[in-house]
Amino acid sequence: MADFRSDRKWPEYRQWCDRFYFAVDADFPNELIPGDCGLILADRFGADIIREAPEHRLDAARRRAVTLRFARCAAVRFHAVNDPEFEL
């Protein structure tokens, strides 16, 4: 809960996703999670979506940029695993 209360930058994360969820354990007070965010209740065995997040679709240019960034990161990591002499 301390991490949740101290993190004031989470609203900025919404611009990078279609839906925004918080995942918490059963002891977390759910009323602290903003109503316009999704809620996932999780433990070490699994998770359930308690409240769906509203959809805020990324625009095409941002979606493309995020996808390319993810792909490049994955390619670099894959290369590093397969070539021990590869340096980032």
pLDDT at residue 88 in the model: 65
Interval 48-86: pLDDT, tens? 999 999 999 999 999 999 999 999 999 998 988 888 787
When comparing pLDDT for 39 and 77, which is higher?
Answer: 39
Give this prediction's pTM: 0.73
**HEC sequence for 40-78:** EEEECCEEEEEECCCCCCCCHHHHHHHHHHHHHHHHHHH
- Give the Cα separation of 74 and 4 in Å (integer): 29
